Structure 1
């Protein structure tokens, strides 16, 4: 990305000042938690369910993504129910 002139705006570099560096570390840690949770869902949808949107129109794409999300939530619910029943 840097070779093409793009700059990542997700994480910020830590300044040399100690109090501000701690604030940025907490901010980056919070962003990392959110990114990791979202990326796991997308990875599961792409690998397990073969999510590849190839439709004409935003309405059909929205419906397709919505159905995949429903299936993911149902699979996740059944997994958690299975784990809860075993405990």
Structure 2
């Protein structure tokens, strides 16, 4: 079963990407409601971490789930852009 470790790694990467995107969403929501330099920096860091985690899933065999996470990340990135403009 050579695909088993790959599948487990793909699931692990996807789980990490989902967690990172959710954390980024919370950080960006905080930055939108509290436009301080600190909240924007935290949101920026969270978004970058989520981008990296999602990038690890690009070759994943779990296509539909990965696309869902990519779409959510795009939404978070758009919200982050609005948070940056509010400062």
Instruction: Please state which band the TM-score falls in when normalised by the shorter chain.
Output: 0.3 to 0.5
Q: Which has the higher contact order (CA 8 A, sep 6+)?
A: 2
Tell me the TM-score normalised to structure 1 length. Answer: 0.35
Tell me the TM-score normalised to structure 2 length. Answer: 0.35
Structure label with greater radius of gyration: 1
